Structure 1
Amino acid sequence: MKLETYISTYCHIRNNKILINGKPFIKDAFDTDFSIFSKKVYKDLNLSYPKFFKMDNLSKLAFLAAECVLNREKTNEDDNIAIVLTNRASSLDTDRKHQSSIQDKESYYPSPAIFVYTLPNIAIGEISIKHQLKSENAFFILDAFNAEFLHNYACSLLENNKAESVLCGWVDYDNEKYDCFMYKVSQIGDIKHTINKLQNLYKIKD
């Protein structure tokens, strides 16, 4: 018998706005860049995690979305929460900064603080460190949000007892353009976890 899976919490971060379960977390949009917006969200979430300010923008985006989802539920380091994220641009935004530092003849050696973020799965690492997660994780590069891929991968992890729940999503950041949709899947929740439902939830507008 196929395992019944559900979405318990989901979050969108787009256009300087955040929606949690379809409702505004920050009611007003801010006509500003992501750096300022992310600091505002950090403050509104009452976070105390100084390492946040050293992260690249992709990691900040994923980190904030994960906080919005996981903080809605009680989690601890014993929870077997897998993480499966996807995007289109990989770590390209940070890669450009790294390349620029290499090409700077006056300061040839690139900054290790930038270099460490030239892999997209570092975003997963930042979430895992914050929430003390030691379970399965993967970051895939796709052309666009793929509900079928995420649905099937999450269900496979749950059906094969690789995880008790899965934090899934699309986290794309490139040149100040960003789009994030993150959600948690398990055998407990109010929203049936289906491909069509994921497609509809992703398309929710501000």
Structure 2
Amino acid sequence: MNSQYHITSFCNIKNNTVSLNGSVIYNDENNDFLEFIKAAYKSFETDYAKFFKMDALSKLAFLAADILLKNEGLKQEEENNIAIVFSNKASSIDTDRKHQNSIQNKEDYFPSPAIFVYTLPNICIGEISIKYKLFSENSFFIFDAFNAQHLLDYTNSLLATNKTEKVLCGWVELDGDHYEAFLYLVTNEGSITHNKQNILKLYNT
């Protein structure tokens, strides 16, 4: 299997900071995640009205992907053959808690549909796919910790079997006040070799 695929760009969001390819492009001292992500959304002039209806995990994943894909110059009016491979530890636990509270706070079982729709972690993949017309493979894996080896093997397999031209992959974690996103794009060309060492290095940037 070809091991010489390359990372063309990467985006990190954590600690009130957004970085693209290792350079800080946005910083906000607001410690509240929802206020931070809302301010970042406005700063990057992201045009997607549905953003404000998303759950917190989807907002985090969507913004990181949007920043990265816009930097790649993707045309939103055309279909893009890009697969998505995401992972995290907490799944959709933040939204699951809100869903449970919406049930407990009602006399009858009638949970909020607006919350219930986000009680699967892969819903964030759908939000990204809709905006950028991504109709290739997509998966969301749950691990105890960031698993660079799995992302490497799964992504290389998709590319080697010609199931996609590029893969948007990484880690999108949100649980209460803790959040972090690390997404990167893999293809046949680029300056950073797609291997475990480089994935870990960029994740820890």
TM-score, with structure 2 as normaliser: 0.95
Query: Superposition RMSD on alpha carbons, in Å?
Result: 1.3
Is 1:148 the counterpart of 2:164? The answer is no
**Deviation of 1:151 (Å):** 0.6
Retained in 2: the 8 A contact 1:3–1:159? no
The equivalent residue for 2:39 is 40
Please report how far the alpha carbon of residue 190 of structure 1 lies from its aligned counterpart in structure 2 after TM superposition.
Answer: 1.1
* CA apart distance, 1:31: 2.7
Matched residues, percent identical? 55
Q: What is the CA deviation profile of residues 172-192 of structure 1, one whole-angstrom value per residue up to 9, with x for unaligned ones?
A: 001121011100000011111
Write the distance in 2 (CA, Å) between the matches of 1:50 and 1:152. Answer: 35
Alignment of 1:1-206 (within 5 A): 2-26=2-26, 28-76=27-75, 77-106=78-107, 108-204=109-205
* Alignment partners' CA distance in 2, 1:180 and 1:47: 17
C-alpha separation in 1, matches of 2:6 and 2:50:
32
Secondary structure of 2:71 counterpart: coil
Distance 2:54 2:61 in 1: 11
Q: Secondary structure, in 3 states, of the residue corresponding to 1:71? A: helix
Which blocks of at least 5 consecutive residues in structure 1 are unaligned? none
User: Segments of 4+ in structure 1 off by > 3 A?
Assistant: 105-108
**Displacement, 1:108?**
4.2
- How far apart in 2 are the matches of 1:156 and 1:105? 47
Task: Please give the alpha-carbon distance, in whole angstroms, between the structure 2 residues aligned to 1:68 and 1:21.
Answer: 11
Conserved 8 A contact 2:79-2:132: no
- Give the paired residue count: 203
CA contact (8 A) 1:59 1:123 kept: yes
CA contact (8 A) 2:64 2:181 kept: yes
For 1:173 and 1:84, the matched residues in 2 are separated by 17
Structure 2 residues not aligned, in runs of 5+: none
